[in-house]
Copies of this chain bind each other. A is one copy, B any other.
Amino acid sequence: MLYFNNDYSEGCHPKILEALAKTNLEQTPGYGEDAYCRRAAEKIRSLCRREDAAVHFLVGGTQTNMTVIAAALRPHQGVLCAVSGHINGHETGAVEATGHKILQLPSADGKITAEQVASAVGAHRADPSFEHGVQPKMVYISHPTELGTLYSLEELEELSETCRGLGLYLFLDGARLGYALAAQAGEMTMADIAGLCDVFYIGGTKVGALFGEAVVIGNPALREDFRYLIKQRGGMLAKGRLLGIQFDTLMTDGLYLSIAAQGVAMAERLRRTLKTLGVPLLVPGITNQVFAVLPDTVLDALAETFVFSEWERVDEAHRAVRFCTSWATREEDVEALCQALEKLCRT
C-alpha cells in the first residue's frame, strides 16, 4: 500500500537521523537546557527577526495547544476558534480539560475573519450579563487550516490588528507551517508571522522531524514562567536535546523550507492531474493537502493500492477524500497515484 492519508507516516529526514546518531552518546543537561536547544532557538529567533522572542520545544501539537492556552488564560477566559479548528474537534477536549471553553465561530473554509472576531467580542462586551458568558481573550487559528487553506498576509494583518485593538492574544497553530511558508514563498515569511502573532509554533512532526513543535512567544506577557507550564502539562522531555538537535538541523541551510517545498510540489503534481481530469476540489488549496471529490467507484478501486483519508460524503455517488503529501513523499508514488486516477477516471 502507498500511504497518502497523512503527513506523519514515515520517520524523519535522513539528516536528522544522522545528527541524532552522531550526538547519541554525548552527555548533556536535560529538560531543554542543553546547547542544541539553545542553538536551535537562536536560529529560530533569527529567522523570526525577534531577538527577544522566547522559544520552547514541545513534543506534539495537542500538548502544545493546551499548554499555550492554559498558560495564557485566566479561568473565565476562552479562545475563539473556527468550528473546524483542530483544538475544537480533534484533541479529545484537551483545552476544556484545562478548564477553558472554546468559543466556536462558523467557517466554511477553515479560516476566521477579523470581522468575526470583532463581532464576537463586541457582542460579549455589549451583553448586560457579560459576566455570565465566557470572556473571549485569545484567537486560535491554524495556518494552514484543517482544510489546507491559507491566510493571506493582509488577512493575518487584519486579524492581528483586531486582536491588538481588542486586547486579545493571537495564537497561530503552525503544525504544518512549513507547507504554508513554502506555498506562500514571496508572500509571507516566518518573520511576518512572528511579527503579527503573540505566540505561534513551527511544526516539526509533519515537516521532517520525528516529533517536536517549536513555540515562539513574541508577547512578553505570555513568556513568564512558561517552562513551569511545559513541565506541568507533561511536555518537558527529559532528553530535551532530541528536540534541539532536530530543530537545529531543520533550521540549518533552509532545510525546513526546502523539504516542505518538496511536499508541496508533490501535491501540485496531483492537483494538475485532477484538474486535467476535471475532478473538482472540495476546497481550493496550494499546500500539501488535496481535497478531491471523486465517484465512489473510483475511490473503491483506488483504495486497493492507496491509503487516503475519508473526509465527507458529497452526494449519493461521490465522496470527498483527502490526499496528503509530505517531505517524504516519493515522486514515483505520486506518479503511480496520478496514473491510477487517470486510468480510473477515464474508464
Contact = CB atoms under 8 A, between A and B. Distances in A.
Given A17-B20, A92-B132, A234 B63 contact: yes
B62 A75 contact: no
Copies of this chain in the oligomer: 4
Contacts of A235: 63, 234
Interface string A14-45: 10010011011111111100000000000000
Contact of A92 (B28, B66, B231): B231
Contacts of A285: none
Nearest to A10: B25
Interface stretch (A94-102, A269-277, A337-345): A94-102
B28 A9 contact: yes
A78 interface: yes
A104 B62 CA distance: 21
Most chain B C-beta atoms within 10 Å of own C-beta, residue among A20, A26, A134: A134
Interface residues of A, number: 77
A328 interface: yes
Interface stretch (A182-190, A192-200, A221-229): A221-229
**Main secondary structure on A side of the interface with B:** loop
Nearest to A205: B238
A79 B239 CA distance: 28
A99 to B, nearest CB: 5
A101 B236 CA distance: 19
B6 A232 contact: no
A135 interface: yes
A296 interface: no
A231 B74 CA distance: 14
Given A20-B11, A60-B238, A205-B238, A232 B94 contact: yes
Nearest to A103: B93
A231 B23 contact: no
Nearest to A245: B11
A71 interface: yes
Contacts of A21: 17, 21
Given A9-B28, A12-B24, A70-B75, A231 B101 contact: no
Given A11-B23, A211-B238, A232 B75 contact: yes
Interface in A62-120: 62-64, 66-67, 70-71, 74-76, 78, 89-94, 96-102, 104
A292 interface: no
A225 to B, nearest CB: 6
8 A-B pairs with the lowest CB-CB distances in the bound complex, closest first: A63-B234, A76-B228, A11-B24, A92-B232, A93-B101, A9-B27, A3-B27, A93-B134
28 contacts: A3-B27, A6-B30, A8-B238, A9-B27, A9-B30, A11-B20, A12-B24, A14-B24, A17-B24, A20-B20, A59-B60, A61-B238, A71-B75, A76-B93, A76-B232, A89-B132, A91-B231, A92-B132, A92-B133, A92-B134, A93-B101, A96-B99, A96-B101, A97-B99, A99-B99, A206-B238, A210-B242, A211-B237
